C-alpha cells in the first residue's frame, strides 16, 4: 500500500466542502486561531463540553514531563457527564442507543433507561465489594450492557479494563493479572455469524490459573447456553442488577483519576496497559466528536462500527457520543450476516447520518460489489469517517462515491490507543479533502514529521510522525511500568512523543500516513505485534524459532505471515520444507489459543533457517520481501546468503 501512497502523493484531486455543508458546520477555520493559545483553548473546551463538580483552576502541568496532568484540581464524574446531566436537562426520552442484534431484533435505550441501568449496576458493583480505584475487567460482546458495565465502573471510580471478546483465555488471564482486577463482567456467550459462541468458559479458564485476585464474575445472560458455575464466585446479572435501586450518586473523582486501562500491542511480546484518566480524556474525545463528526445531537444518528474492546469503541462509542448527548447505533454482528448488505440495511433502518468505520471494512465492501449498497436507501448519510489504518485512495474514492453519493465529506482520522482521541483529521466544512491523506493536526494539537535526527522535514519530505505538545487525552503512562512509558514514547526524540508511524508531508504540507515503522502490525485495523505472535509460536513444543512479518494484503491491509523452524525431533513432522500442513494447522490453533483468532497467521512457512546478520539479528525486512512476493533486497549482510534462496524455493513449492 505504501507504493500506492507514494505514487499518489502528487494527488491532484481535492474536494472542497460544499457551501451548504460549510454553512452549517460546527467547525470553522477560526478554531485554528483560537487554539494558538493552546491552554486557553483546551480550558474553554473543558468548561463548555463537560460538567464539573469542582471547577478546575490548573490547566496543564508539564513540569514532570513526560507526565502531563490536565485540569488536576477539578473533579467530575464520567457517567454523570454521559448520562445524568442529560436526563436532568429534560433529555431523558432522547434515544441514546438503537441496539441492533445480529438477528435483526432491536432495542431502544433512552438516556433515562441507560442512566437507570447504569445506576443499578453501580449499586450492584458496590454490593459485590468493588470500590473506588479497584480494577474491573470487562469481557463482553458488542451489546448495550458492555457500555452499561463500563459506565457503571466509571460511576463509582473503578477503572475498567475492557478485553476484546475475541481475545483468548490466555490473553484475558495476562490482562487480569497485570491490572490486578478484582472482578470480571462477562456474558454466558455471544451471537456470531448465526451461531452462539461461549464466552464465560474463557473467564473460567483464565481464573483457573489460580493466581488472579478475581473475587466475583458478574455474568449477563445473552445466549442462554449452559455454563459452568462456581457458587462462591459467579453471580448472574439478572439476580443482582434488576433488584437494585436507581438511586445512586455518581462519585466525583479528580480529573486525573484513572478512567480505564486498555491493553495494546507494542514492540515487545507483552501488551502494554495504556492508562487514561478522566478530565482531559473526556474533554478531547467530546471536542473531537463534536467537530470532526460535525455532530448535531438533536438530529444526527451516529454509528461507529468499532467494538468496545478497542480504543475507538471506548472513545467514540462508550464515552464521547454519550457525553455529547448523541443518538447512536450499536450493532452486535458482522457486516456479512445474514447477508452482505447488512450494514446498509442498518443505515437505512435507523436513518444513520454519520458513519465511522475502518478501511478494511470499506475494502471488503468494495470486493462484494456496489450493487449491495445501491440496493438500500443511504440518503440519510451526511458524513463519513475512517480510522485504524491508512486508507488507500481507491477505497477512499469508492467510499465517497458509492456510500457518500459524492455528497458527504470524508474524515480520515489518525490517532492511537495512546492518544485517546483523534489527533489528525480534516475538519468537515473547513478542509478541502484529499483521497488518502489525513491532512492536518486538529486545532489544539502539536504534530510534525521529523527525520532521524528529530528535525522537521520540509514539505515533500518523509520521516517519523511525532507529537510536539502534550494533549488532554494523552495516555498517562503504562500501567505498572512508567519506565517503559518513557522509553517507548519519549526516548527516540527527546521532548517529543514518537508515535511509531512513518509519514510524509506533501507539497501543501498535508500529512500522509505510511504505516508503522516498528514491529507493530495492523491487521484489519487491529494492532498486533510481531514479537507477541513470535512468543506465542515459540511457546509451542514443536517450535525452535519463529519470525513474523506483516505482509501486504488487499483486504486486511496487512496479514500475519510466520516463518518457523521446528525443533530437531519434530522436523520429520513437516513432510517437506514448506509443507507439513498438519503442523501448520496446529500452530495456527496454538496462536489462537494464546492470543485470539485475530492473531492467527494467514501463512506459516516451515523453514530450515532464518536470515540472520552476523550478529544473529533476524532480518525481517528480507522475510517481508518474500511474503510480499517482492524481489528480495540486499542480502550482503547475511551470515549465510544462501538462506534466502532456500526460503524462496520452499515458498515456491507451497
Question: Which residues lie near ligand PRX (CB under 6 A)?
Answer: 264, 311-312, 387-390, 412-417, 438, 499-501, 513, 516, 522, 527
Complex with ligand PRX: residue 308 or 605, whichever CB lies closer: 308
Output 89-95 pairs: Cβ under 8 A, ≥24 positions apart.
91/325, 94/297, 94/325, 94/327, 95/327
- 3-class DSSP state of 184: strand
Cell readout for 289 is 466528536
Prior bond of 338 cis (ω within 30°): yes
CB of 2 to ligand PRX, least distance (A): 11
Complex with ligand PRX: residue 492 or 527, whichever CB lies closer: 527
Distance spanning both ends of the chain, measured CA to CA: 25
CB of 311 to ligand PRX, least distance (A): 5
CB of 472 to ligand PRX, least distance (A): 16
Complex with ligand PRX: residue 186 or 264, whichever CB lies closer: 264
Q: What are phi and psi of 447, to 5 degrees?
A: -145, 150
Complex with ligand PRX: residue 69 or 500, whichever CB lies closer: 500
CB of 359 to ligand PRX, least distance (A): 8
CB of 438 to ligand PRX, least distance (A): 5
Complex with ligand PRX: residue 333 or 388, whichever CB lies closer: 388
CB of 500 to ligand PRX, least distance (A): 5
- Collect all residues with Cβ–Cβ distance below 8 Å to 376 and sequence separation of at least 6: 341, 344, 345, 347, 348
- Collect all residues with Cβ–Cβ distance below 8 Å to 76 and sequence separation of at least 6: 50, 51, 52, 53, 54, 252, 253, 255, 278, 279, 282
Complex with ligand PRX: residue 373 or 388, whichever CB lies closer: 388
Cell readout for 222 is 445473552
Complex with ligand PRX: residue 279 or 426, whichever CB lies closer: 426
- 3-class DSSP state of 193: coil
DSSP code of residue 442: P
H helices within 222-337, ranges in order? 237-240, 279-292, 311-313, 320-323
Q: Crossing angle, helix 38-49 and helix 279-292, to 10 degrees?
A: 90
Distance separating alpha carbons of residues 597 and 594, to the nearest angstrom: 9
Among 497, 449, 448, 491, CA closest to 474: 497
For residue 636, count CB atoms less than 10 angstroms from its CB and return exposed for 0-12, middle for 13-18, buried for 19 or more: exposed
Distance separating alpha carbons of residues 66 and 394, to the nearest angstrom: 39
Cell readout for 25 is 458546520
CB of 386 to ligand PRX, least distance (A): 6
Complex with ligand PRX: residue 52 or 167, whichever CB lies closer: 167
Complex with ligand PRX: residue 252 or 462, whichever CB lies closer: 462
CB of 416 to ligand PRX, least distance (A): 4
Complex with ligand PRX: residue 102 or 519, whichever CB lies closer: 519
Distance separating alpha carbons of residues 630 and 3, to the nearest angstrom: 12
CB of 499 to ligand PRX, least distance (A): 6
Among 319, 121, 334, CA closest to 235: 121
CB of 312 to ligand PRX, least distance (A): 5
Amino acid at each position: 500500500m505504501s507504493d500506492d501512497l507514494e505514487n499518489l502523493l502528487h494527488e491532484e484531486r481535492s474536494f472542497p466542502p460544499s457551501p451548504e455543508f460549510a454553512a452549517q458546520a460546527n467547525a470553522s477555520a477560526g478554531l485554528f486561531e483560537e487554539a494558538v493559545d493552546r491552554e486557553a483553548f483546551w480550558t474553554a473546551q473543558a468548561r463548555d463540553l463537560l460538567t464539573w463538580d469542582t471547577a478546575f483552576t490548573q490547566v496543564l502541568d508539564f513540569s514532570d514531563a513526560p507526565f502531563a496532568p490536565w485540569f488536576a484540581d477539578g473533579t467530575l464524574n464520567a457517567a454523570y457527564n454521559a448520562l445524568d446531566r442529560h436526563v436532568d436537562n429534560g433529555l431523558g426520552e432522547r434515544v441514546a442507543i438503537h441496539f441492533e442484534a445480529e438477528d435483526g431484533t432491536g432495542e431502544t435505550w433512552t438516556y433515562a433507561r441507560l442512566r437507570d441501568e447504569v445506576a443499578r449496576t453501580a449499586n450492584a458493583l458496590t454490593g459485590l465489594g468493588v470500590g473506588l480505584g479497584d480494577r474491573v475487567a470487562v469481557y463482553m460482546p458488542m451489546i448495550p450492557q458492555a457500555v452499561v458495565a463500563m459506565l457503571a465502573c466509571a460511576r463509582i471510580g473503578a477503572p475498567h479494563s475492557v478485553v476484546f471478546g475475541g481475545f483468548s483465555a490466555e490473553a484475558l488471564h495476562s490482562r487480569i493479572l497485570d491490572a490486578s482486577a478484582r472482578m470480571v463482567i462477562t456474558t454466558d456467550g455471544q451471537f456470531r455469524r448465526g451461531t452462539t459462541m461461549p464466552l464465560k468458559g474463557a473467564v473460567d479458564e483464565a481464573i483457573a490459573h489460580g493466581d488472579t485476585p478475581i473475587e466475583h464474575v458478574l455474568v449477563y445472560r445473552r445466549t442462554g447456553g449452559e455454563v459452568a458455575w462456581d457458587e462462591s464466585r459467579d453471580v448472574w446479572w439478572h439476580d443482582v442488577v434488576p433488584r437494585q435501586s436507581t438511586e445512586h450518586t455518581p462519585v466525583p473523582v479528580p480529573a486525573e483519576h484513572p478512567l480505564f486501562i486498555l491493553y495494546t500491542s507494542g514492540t515487545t511480546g507483552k501488551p502494554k496497559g495504556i492508562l487514561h484518566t478522566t478530565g482531559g480524556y473526556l474533554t478531547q474525545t467530546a471536542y473531537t466528536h463534536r467537530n470532526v463528526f460535525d455532530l448535531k445531537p438533536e438530529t444526527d444518528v451516529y454509528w461507529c462500527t468499532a467494538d468496545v474492546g478497542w480504543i475507538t469503541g471506548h472513545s467514540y462509542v462508550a464515552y464521547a457520543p454519550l457525553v455529547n448527548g448523541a443518538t447512536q447505533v450499536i450493532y452486535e454482528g458482522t457486516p456479512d450476516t445474514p447477508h452482505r448488505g447488512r450494514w446498509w440495511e442498518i443505515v437505512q433502518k435507523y436513518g444513520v447520518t454519520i458513519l465511522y468505520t475502518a478501511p478494511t471494512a470499506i475494502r471488503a465492501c468494495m470486493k462484494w460489489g456496489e450493487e449491495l449498497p445501491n440496493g438500500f436507501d443511504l440518503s440519510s448519510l451526511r458524513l463519513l469517517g475512517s480510522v485504524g489504518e491508512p486508507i488507500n485512495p481507491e477505497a477512499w474514492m469508492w467510499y465517497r462515491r458509492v456510500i457518500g453519493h459524492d455528497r458527504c465529506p470524508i474524515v480520515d482520522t489518525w490517532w492511537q490507543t495512546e492518544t485517546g482521541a483523534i489527533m489528525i483529521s480534516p475538519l468537515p466544512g473547513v478542509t478541502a479533502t484529499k483521497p488518502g491523506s489525513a491532512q492536518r493536526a486538529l486545532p489544539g494539537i502539536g504534530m510534525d514529521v521529523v527525520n532521524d535526527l528529530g528535525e522537521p522535514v520540509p514539505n515533500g519530505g518523509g520521516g517519523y510522525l511525532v507529537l510536539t505538545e502534550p494533549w488532554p487525552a494523552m495516555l498517562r503512562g503504562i500501567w505498572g511500568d512508567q519506565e517503559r512509558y518513557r522509553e517507548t514514547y519519549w526516548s527516540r526524540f527527546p521532548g517529543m512523543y514518537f508515535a511509531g508511524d512513518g509519514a510524509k508531508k506533501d507539497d501543501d504540507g498535508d500529512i500522509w500516513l505510511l504505516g508503522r515503522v516498528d514491529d507493530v502490525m495492523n491487521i484489519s485495523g487491529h494492532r498486533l505485534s510481531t514479537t507477541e505472535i513470535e512468543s506465542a509460536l515459540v511457546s509451542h513444543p514443536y517450535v525452535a524459532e519463529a519470525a513474523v512479518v506483516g505482509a501486504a494484503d488487499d483486504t486486511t491491509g496487512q496479514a500475519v505471515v510466520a516463518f518457523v523452524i521446528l525443533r530437531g525431533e519434530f522436523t520429520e513432522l513437516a513432510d517437506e520444507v514448506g509443507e507439513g500442513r498438519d503442523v501448520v494447522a496446529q500452530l495456527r490453533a496454538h496462536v489462537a489459543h494464546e492470543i485470539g483468532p485475530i492473531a492467527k497467521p494467514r501463512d506459516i512457512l516451515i523453514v530450515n533457517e532464518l536470515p540472520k546478520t552476523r550478529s544473529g539479528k533476524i532480518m525481517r525486512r528480507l522475510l517481508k520481501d518474500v511474503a510480499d512476493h517482492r524481489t528480495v533486497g540486499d542480502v550482503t549482510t547475511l551470515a549465510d546468503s544462501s538462506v534466502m534462496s532456500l526460503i524462496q524455493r520452499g515458498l515456491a513449492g507451497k
